[in-house]
Amino acid sequence: MICRLEEKGIEEFTPTSILPQTPFWGRVKNHQGFIPQGFELSISKDLLYVQNNTDHQLKEDLLVLIKYLDQDECYAYVPYGPKLEPDFENHGLFLEELSECIRPFLPKNCLFVRYDLMWQNQWSKEEEYFDDCGNWIGPPQNTTQEFRVNYKTNNWKLRKSASDLLPKNTFFLNLKQSESDLLQNMRYNTRYNVRKAAKRGIEVREYGLNYIDDWYELYLDTSIRHQTPIVAPDYFTSILKNQDNHAKGVNVKMLMAALDGQFLASMFLVLSKNRGIYLYGASGNNKENAMASYALQWESIKIAKDWGCSEYDMFGSAPNLDNSHPLHGVHVYKKGFGGQLYHRMGCWDYPYDSKGYDNFILHELRA
């Protein structure tokens, strides 16, 4: 088994559909106080796949973000990485090998490395974790998850994180279909609302940085309405400023839906290789905003398709149709566009300093 890393400038990364593993994401997160580090990872197939006896190597780029807690301690964060996905039985083995392999490249005061895994959740492929209506009820308790993931590891150190950062559940829409098929595969109410928005004359256009204040006004309305944490406006400015603006990189489009000159809804569409991503959305309190959101999403899907994307990531949803979940309404809205629900593994930690890690987790749980 071989796991090897070499330092690599993030601007030299090969284009990827995995947005949080792009140079763009590294630049945006640097604006938020993270220090990006780039690597080329070489991994042998026998470390990835159970039924493989060859040491043939695969390579991928790996973005790691260093976050300092104070002047004495930090941790490493790998957003939606590594991209190579091993067999379920080798999840823990691969992460352990990678964690030990990357350790010499990290600051000496690094407490742990946190992987925000985009891999399919192991338990979402087992019938017993779905109810009679086909709704996923979620994975088992953390101790059970840790027991399975640490299978075959030497140190038995992998821990399910106290919190997840990037979305664990999302809808993926297949853009290889024709526009007529995409419309036909929507739920009836969604298709009706898309057509109703068009009849009402709601127009969707792309706007530049000089309209960021209009975006932010809608964003504040949405955050207050849903009681979610509010992000400063310069974060959204950094998203627009840090895009690549060339075909092989990450391109960002700020789309806004308006009626009679009034902005009703807006969103950030991100295009990364063959994937379109609905990164952020916002809408006002005007009664027309609901129809505008449907018009906006449909236009975004068409733009991603015309760009050459083969899939569309709704980027976040509730795991099921539970009415009590805070993202229930988001789930119903996104489900209506006809995508397939996908469940990720979420965040997993590999501690280097057990005592320091435990102290961090206590603080994280209290926050």
Q: Determine the 3-state secondary structure of 356 from DSSP.
A: helix
Q: Which CATH class is domain 3-168+344-366?
A: alpha beta
Beta strand 311-313 with 275-283 is parallel
CB 37 within 8 A of CB 105: yes
Structure tokens that stand for 135 in this block:
């709704």
Residues 204-230 have pLDDT tens digits of 999 999 999 999 999 999 998 888 889
**Does the structural domain 177-309 have CATH classification 3.40.630.30?**
yes
Omega before 82 within 30 of 0, i.e. cis: yes
pLDDT reading at 286 higher than 90 = no
Element counts in the chain: helices (H) and strands (E)? 11, 13
- For residue range 53-92, what is the model confidence (pLDDT) as tens digits? 777 889 999 999 999 999 999 999 999 999 999 999 999 9
Contact, 202 vs 291, CB < 8 A? yes
Q: Which pLDDT belongs to residue 319?
A: 87
Q: Is the pLDDT of residue 153 over 90?
A: yes
Burial of 138 (0-12, 13-18, 19+ CB in 10 A): middle
Cβ-contact 169, 342 below 8 angstroms: yes
List C-alpha distances in Å: 128 to 64, 90, 124.
Answer: 35, 22, 9
Mean pLDDT (the chain, rounded): 93
Q: What is the pTM of this model?
A: 0.94
| Residue 288 pLDDT | 59
Report the SS3 class of residue 287.
Answer: coil
H/E run at residue 207: strand 203-207
Question: 250 and 271 in contact (C-beta within 8 Å)?
Answer: yes
Judged by DSSP in three states, 40 sits in: strand
Please determine whether the domains at 3-168+344-366 and 177-309 fall in the same fold group of CATH. Answer: yes
> What distance lies between CA 243 and its chain's CA centroid?
17
How far apart, in whole angstroms, are the C-alpha atoms of residue 307 and residue 312?
Answer: 12
Query: What is the domain partition of the chain in residue ranges?
Result: 3-168+344-366, 177-309
- pLDDT of res. 201: 93
